[in-house]
Amino acid sequence: MTSNDPKEVVLKFFETMNNGEFEEAADFFSLDAVFWVVGSLPFSGTLRGRDEILEKNFRPSAEFTEPGSAKVIIGDVIAEGDKVAVEWRFQRKTLGGESYDNYFFGLFEVRDGLIQSFREYLDTEYARRMLWKNE
């Protein structure tokens, strides 16, 4: 990460995720970052700190995904000051071989080249149906 520009930081974060580099993606977050996910999924709620984000969201998310199948498609991006709003699609093959294709919206706050906060919105019913079938 060489840029402090909030939009560039967020787009580089997505590029890293798109490459399946979940561990490296956590490095885009400050040590005390806050990550909130809408809904009542096992991933939902507030995570605090880079390590918790990695352990409780990024690593488990990777466990649902057939290696090499994750694809992030960026839609609209709006940046103002330290805030960046992004629409995206996340496509992947589940470990069961099914196609997963969900739509997301996120609001990021970036300071000093690191993500300080990230609020994520998605179709949680679709995610539950596709990823937590047996629960």
Overall domain count for the chain:
1
The pLDDT value given to residue 134: 65
Q: Is the pTM of this model over 0.85?
A: yes
Residue 25 covered by a domain = yes
The pLDDT value given to residue 135: 58
The pLDDT value given to residue 88: 97
Residue 18 covered by a domain = yes
Return the CATH number at 106: 3.10.450.50
Residue 1 covered by a domain = no
Residue 40 covered by a domain = yes
Which residues form the domain of 63?
6-131
The pLDDT value given to residue 58: 84
The pLDDT value given to residue 63: 76
The pLDDT value given to residue 107: 99
Residue 39 covered by a domain = yes
The pLDDT value given to residue 2: 64
Strand spans (E) along 1-135: 29-37, 45-48, 71-80, 83-93, 99-111, 114-122
Residues of the chain with pLDDT below 50 are none
Can you say whether the dihedral through the CA atoms of 127, 128, 134, 135 is positive or negative?
A: positive
The pLDDT value given to residue 131: 83
Range 7-45 burial, b when 16+ CB lie within 10 A, else e: bbbbbbbbebbbebebeebbebbbeebbbbbbbebebbe
